[in-house]
């Protein structure tokens, strides 16, 4: 194999027994110390990546994910120390039971093995992902985004130093030594991997799932929603909403939708609007109402479609609807309510209970506000 991935994987697999028995917590703590000591080196490598990415015309949102800042040092080092303080997950026996013949049967926690990690231009993940895998006694083969190659190489170099000082094999953390996209396909076909984790856009996830010959742990589209119930602590809900949306709007786990119970909407939404404006957010017209409100209101009833706020990144924030009937094939526009005689007994009861006696169609006009 021209890329040398098999050699990297074979070395890592050979060292797995030493890794599981070694001083993994000490390696995590040493990595936290090295980050504090050598952070300027990491920032210089990251600045070179940023300059090249800007020349290549990388979008602003991706540049934000690529950039490492001074505040990231505290986040990463605190995370490493918190993971090191957790109890060792290996060797624990769970679900132990005694069989009629006296044999005791249970499940024991063991490492997964060698994990391949394919991710886009987010160098912080080089620290976070390795820390979690190392805590559980796993080795990692990393293939980061080409835009963050220098940053990832600097961080992996620190990992190697931390592993050596803890008496662990540095082969436990390996970086694919190329930015060629062919490396992704090679990793998908590398049977030495025990697990493959893609982290990035939908296109990357689909490619890995299609080409992989090993188990894949993949995520689908994010559903980062926050619901504020009528009994919720509104001050806590406000803090959660602001943190989830305004801290770093460009990241993949930023808040996408806010759903507020109608009984607290009049009290909560003005608080949220004021706090958002204080942080420099502006409001404008949304492209349309929230999809859940696409139903025709019955005669004599109020529409209850509420308001929808949409950010510049396309995320939607919405007020709760009055009666959000469950959507189903039978309640889609242009379809008739099924007869109970044509459906199974239980399913027919479900339709009779939940299908509203009015047809679905164009949503009523609603005042909408957008968050950008």
pLDDT of amino acid 249: 76
Residue 41 lies in a domain: yes
Does residue 26 fall inside a structural domain?
Answer: yes
User: Domain check: are 167 and 200 in the same one?
Assistant: yes
32 and 172: one domain?
Answer: yes
Residue 174 sits in the same domain as residue 56: yes
Which residues does 370 contact at the CB level (< 8 Å), separation at least 6?
Answer: 283, 284, 285, 286, 287, 308, 309, 310, 311
Of 307, 325, 343, the last residue of a domain is: 325
Q: Is 233 in the same domain as 309?
A: yes
Domain count within the chain: 2
Last residue of a domain, one of 173, 189, 211: 211
Give the number of residues written for the chain. 372
Supply the pLDDT for residue 286: 58
Burial 109-118 (b: 16+ CB within 10 A, else e): eebbbbbbbb
Q: 144-197: per-residue pLDDT in tens?
A: 999 999 999 999 999 999 999 999 999 999 999 888 888 899 999 999 999 999
Asked whether residue 269 is domain-assigned, the answer is yes
- pLDDT, block means (10 residues), the chain with 372 residues: 72 86 92 96 96 91 89 94 94 90 92 93 93 94 93 96 94 90 90 92 87 87 84 93 82 82 90 88 61 40 38 39 38 43 38 33 35 34
Could you tell me if 29 and 178 lie in one domain? yes
Instruction: Give the domain CATH number at 163.
Output: 3.40.605.10
Question: Looking at the domain assignment, is residue 345 inside a domain?
Answer: no
Please check whether residues 288 and 148 belong to one and the same domain.
Answer: no
Question: Do both 196 and 298 map to the same domain?
Answer: no
Q: Is residue 372 part of a domain?
A: no
The answer to whether residues 144 and 267 belong to one domain is no
Instruction: Note the pLDDT of residue 201.
Output: 79
Establish if 218 belongs to a structural domain.
no
Last residue of a domain, one of 188, 211, 234: 211
* pLDDT tens digits, 112-143: 999 999 998 899 999 999 999 999 999 999 99
Question: Same structural domain for residues 251 and 318?
Answer: yes
In a domain, 219, yes or no: no
**Containing structural domain, residue 177:** 5-88+110-211
- The pLDDT value recorded for residue 200 is 82
| pTM of structure | 0.67
Whether residues 136 and 236 fall in one domain: no
Quote the pLDDT of residue 77: 96
The answer to whether 113 and 90 are in contact (CB under 8 A) is: no
Q: Is residue 342 part of a domain?
A: no
Same domain, residue pair 144 and 237: no
Contact (Cβ atoms closer than 8 angstroms) between residue 167 and residue 25: no
> Do 257 and 173 lie in a common domain?
no
Q: Rounded distance, CA 368 to CA 289, Å?
A: 7
Q: What is the pLDDT of residue 288?
A: 53
61 burial (CB, 10 Å; 0-12 / 13-18 / 19+) is middle
């Amino acid at each position: 194999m021209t890329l040398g991935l098999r050699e990297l994987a074979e070395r890592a697999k050979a060292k797995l027994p030493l890794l599981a028995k070694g001083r993994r917590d000490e390696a995590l703590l040493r990595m936290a110390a090295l980050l504090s000591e050598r952070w300027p080196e990491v920032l210089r490598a990251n600045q070179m990546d940023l300059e090249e990415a800007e020349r290549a015309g990388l979008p602003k949102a991706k540049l934000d994910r690529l950039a490492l800042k001074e505040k990231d040092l505290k986040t990463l080092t605190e995370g490493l120390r918190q993971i090191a303080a957790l109890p060792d997950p290996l060797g624990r026996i769970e679900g132990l039971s005694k069989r009629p013949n006296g044999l005791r049967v249970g499940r024991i926690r063991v490492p997964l093995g060698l994990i391949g990690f394919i991710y886009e231009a987010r160098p912080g993940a080089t620290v976070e992902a390795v820390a979690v895998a190392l805590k559980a006694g796993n080795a990692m083969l990393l293939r980061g985004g080409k835009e963050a190659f220098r940053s990832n190489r600097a961080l992996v170099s620190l990992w190697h130093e931390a592993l050596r000082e803890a008496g662990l094999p540095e082969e436990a953390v390996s970086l694919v030594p190329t930015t060629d996209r062919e490396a992704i396909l090679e990793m998908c076909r590398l049977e030495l991997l025990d697990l493959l984790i893609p982290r990035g856009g939908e296109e990357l996830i689909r490619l890995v799932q299609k080409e992989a010959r090993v188990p894949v742990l993949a995520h689908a589209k994010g559903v980062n929603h926050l619901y504020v119930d009528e009994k919720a602590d509104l001050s806590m809900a406000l803090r959660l909403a602001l943190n989830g949306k305004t801290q770093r709007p460009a990241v993949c786990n930023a808040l996408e939708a806010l759903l507020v119970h109608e009984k607290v909407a009049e009290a909560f939404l003005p608080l949220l609007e004021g706090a958002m404006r204080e942080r420099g957010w502006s409001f404008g017209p949304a492209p349309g109402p929230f999809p859940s409100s696409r139903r025709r209101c019955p005669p004599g009833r109020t529409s209850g479609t509420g308001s929808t706020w949409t950010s510049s990144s396309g995320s939607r924030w919405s007020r709760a609807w009055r009666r959000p009937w469950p959507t189903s094939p039978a309640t889609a526009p242009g379809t008739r309510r099924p007869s109970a005689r044509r459906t199974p007994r239980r399913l027919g009861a479900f339709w009779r209970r939940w299908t509203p006696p009015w047809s679905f169609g164009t949503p009523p006009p609603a005042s909408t506000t957008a968050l950008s």
